Amino acid sequence: MRRFDAGGESFRWDAVPVLDYKSDAAAPFRDITRQTLFKRDDMQGELRYFEVAAGGHSTLERHEHTHAVLVLRGLGACLVGTAVHRIGAYDLVTVPPRTWHQFRAAANAPLGFLCMVDAARDRPELPDARALQTLQSIPDVAAFLAGDMS
Amino acid sequence: MRRFDAGGESFRWDAVPVLDYKSDAAAPFRDITRQTLFKRDDMQGELRYFEVAAGGHSTLERHEHTHAVLVLRGLGACLVGTAVHRIGAYDLVTVPPRTWHQFRAAANAPLGFLCMVDAARDRPELPDARALQTLQSIPDVAAFLAGDMS
């Protein structure tokens, strides 16, 4: 059993290291940490906790594997495909295979969320200029990607 | 995306049915519901939410598959093997294979927890009289099983 560490401003657990979100410097992201809560040889799923600080965001990417997300705290928005959703505590988000997605915290609040994935999964793909242009041609998506959380 | 339904006293989500904890009437349990938050053909893990009302409990059982539990709200205790742990919001509990386990809410508070499991998993086994006697020979475990949450 691992206790939740209620002392800090961010969510932390005993004996769960707070990791860089990604080691790949080429993938753009900002102010986000990763904690692996459950990853075991005898389980096919993994459960991670991501915390995006106010104003931060995850990488815009897609991959074959599915994300199953449950927001634990805070406020923000997510892009899934071409849809932008405002999200808050306990909302559920499914990111299906090969779907562009990004999570952003509100300007004045963090966004903490659980993400279940398969342990065996592919690596993410970043959008090329053409894919980015297609996404940015949609006004709601362009506003989201520009960090306009109003 | 499915919204958290913040209106009620219990945790609920849009379009997520609240199910009986078990359909097997032979498995003893009390005041507990089950909601499947994520279960998809393209994922190898499942995420469920269980809510135990004050004074209620899950079935005492064991199985080959592992449970990965994150408490979402409330207070209670769990038995894992021969250890009893007090648990509260965001604590993490791993139930390893073939380990007797039970979750109990406090007398005056519900206990709501997420449980990740493999989609492909075996059925639970209930303790026979001998296994129960062995567990009850341990004072802390006997008190837990009797519902003494003090």
Measure CB to CB from residue A47 to each of B40, B116, B120 and give the nearest one.
B116
Q: What's the pLDDT tens digit per position in A53-96? A: 999 999 999 999 999 999 999 999 999 999 999 999 999 999 99
- Cβ of B2 within 8 Å of Cβ of A87? The answer is no
Lowest mean pLDDT among A46-55, B18-27, B100-109: B18-27
Inter-chain CB pairs, A–B, below 8 Å: 116
pLDDT value for A28: 80
Match 């993400």 to its residue by tokens: A115
Select the residue from B91, B103, B116, B121 to test the A interface by mutation, using most A Cβ atoms within 10 A.
Answer: B116
Identity of residue A81: G
pLDDT band of residue B98 (cuts 50, 70, 90) is very high
Contacts of B112 in chain A (CB under 8 A): none
CA distances from A115 to A65, B84, B116, B141 (A): 12, 28, 11, 34
Give the β-pairing of A83-88 and A67-80.
Answer: antiparallel
Residue A41's pLDDT band, with cuts at 50, 70 and 90, is very high
The yes/no answer to whether this complex scores an ipTM above 0.90 is yes
Dist CA B132 CA B42 (whole Å): 39
- Alpha helices by DSSP H, listed for chain B, are 129-136, 139-145
Q: Inspect the interface and report whether the beta carbons of A44 and B88 lie closer than 8 Å.
A: no
Task: Please answer yes or no on whether A4 and B88 come within 8 Å at the CB atom.
Answer: yes
Tell me which of B87, B95, B115, B141 is the catalytic residue: B115
Active-site positions of A read 115
What are the strands, taking DSSP E only, across A17-110? 19-20, 30-38, 45-57, 67-80, 83-88, 92-95, 101-105
State pLDDT tens for residues B64-92: 999 999 999 999 999 999 999 999 999 99
- Residues in chain B closer than 8 A to A41 (CB atoms): none
Residue B12 has pLDDT above 90, yes or no: yes
